[in-house]
């Protein structure tokens, strides 16, 4: 093919190469920093007086292009007319809490970097009737958009362990604007200056 004809042919297909869905469909990215709803409105666990909800997660501000950490928040609600006791002892092992990811290039199972109980191993709290308290986990592998995540963890309710596997959800289902960041920060991001503990 003459050089001029080759140039002309390349000029015709270059836009197709640039914008072809077949070439770009596997390009994935993480969501932007901030809070997100995962769309779950039902409890991820319910037994006796306790209901546990995982409704939102947070991507921390970070240097560079790729997020470094994300935060999953769980709410424990006492639906009964009696107080209940929640404790952390014996569930402070980080390998106990994991994220199970699928549907993206960074899929896999990753243990938490930190959890509420790893920071507060002696935590014990009486939650009154109708009251609530929260727990959290911080992960060092941020799921990309387009994938799904299930969280695995254990909590102690009146010193009796319960294993939980949440439904698989898109943690970045819907942004939640104008919500202050979590009070907790990964130490690395504190050092980098992108997160300030509250």
Quote the longest CA-to-CA distance of the chain.
86
Q: What is the pLDDT of residue 10?
A: 37
Calpha distance 162→17 (Å, rounded): 52
Kindly state the DSSP code that residue 189 receives in the 8-state scheme: H
Calpha distance 43→39 (Å, rounded): 12
Q: What is the pLDDT of residue 152?
A: 93
Helix (H) or strand (E) holding 119: helix 116-119
Q: What is the pLDDT of residue 158?
A: 56
- 55-71 pLDDT per residue, tens: 999 999 998 888 999 99
Q: Is residue 166 predicted with pLDDT exceeding 60? A: yes
Contact 149, 79 (CB under 8 A): no
As a whole number, the mean pLDDT across the chain is 82
Total-model pTM: 0.82
Calpha distance 184→124 (Å, rounded): 19
Q: Is residue 17 predicted with pLDDT exceeding 90? A: no
Q: 88 or 52: which carries more pLDDT confidence?
A: 52
Helix (H) or strand (E) holding 108: strand 108-111
pLDDT band (50, 70, 90) for residue 39: very high
Q: What is the pLDDT of residue 47?
A: 84
b/e string for 76-104 if b means 16 or more Cβ within 10 A? bbbeeeeebebbbeebbeeebbbbbbeeb
Which residues are paired to 149 by β-bridges? 101, 169
- 125-163 pLDDT per residue, tens: 999 999 999 999 999 999 988 889 999 988 766 556 778
Calpha distance 162→43 (Å, rounded): 15
């Amino acid at each position: 093919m003459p050089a001029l004809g080759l140039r002309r042919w390349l000029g015709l297909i270059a836009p197709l190469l640039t914008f072809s869905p077949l070439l770009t469909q596997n390009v994935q990215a993480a969501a932007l920093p901030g809070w997100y709803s995962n769309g779950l409105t039902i409890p991820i666990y319910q037994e006796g007086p306790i209901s546990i909800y995982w409704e939102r997660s947070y991507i921390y501000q970070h240097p560079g292009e790729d997020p470094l950490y994300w935060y999953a928040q769980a709410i424990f609600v006492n639906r009964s007319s009696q107080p209940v006791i929640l404790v952390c002892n014996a569930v402070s092992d980080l390998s106990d809490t994991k994220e199970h990811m699928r549907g993206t290039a960074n899929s896999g199972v990753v243990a938490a970097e930190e959890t509420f109980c790893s920071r507060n191993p002696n935590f014990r709290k009486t939650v009154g009737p109708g009251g609530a308290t929260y727990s959290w986990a911080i992960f060092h592998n941020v799921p990309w958009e387009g994938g799904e995540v299930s969280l695995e963890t254990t909590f102690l309710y009146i010193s009796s362990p319960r294993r939980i596997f949440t439904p698989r959800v898109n943690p970045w289902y819907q942004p939640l604007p104008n919500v202050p960041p979590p009070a907790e920060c990964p130490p690395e991001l504190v050092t980098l200056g992108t997160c300030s503990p509250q």
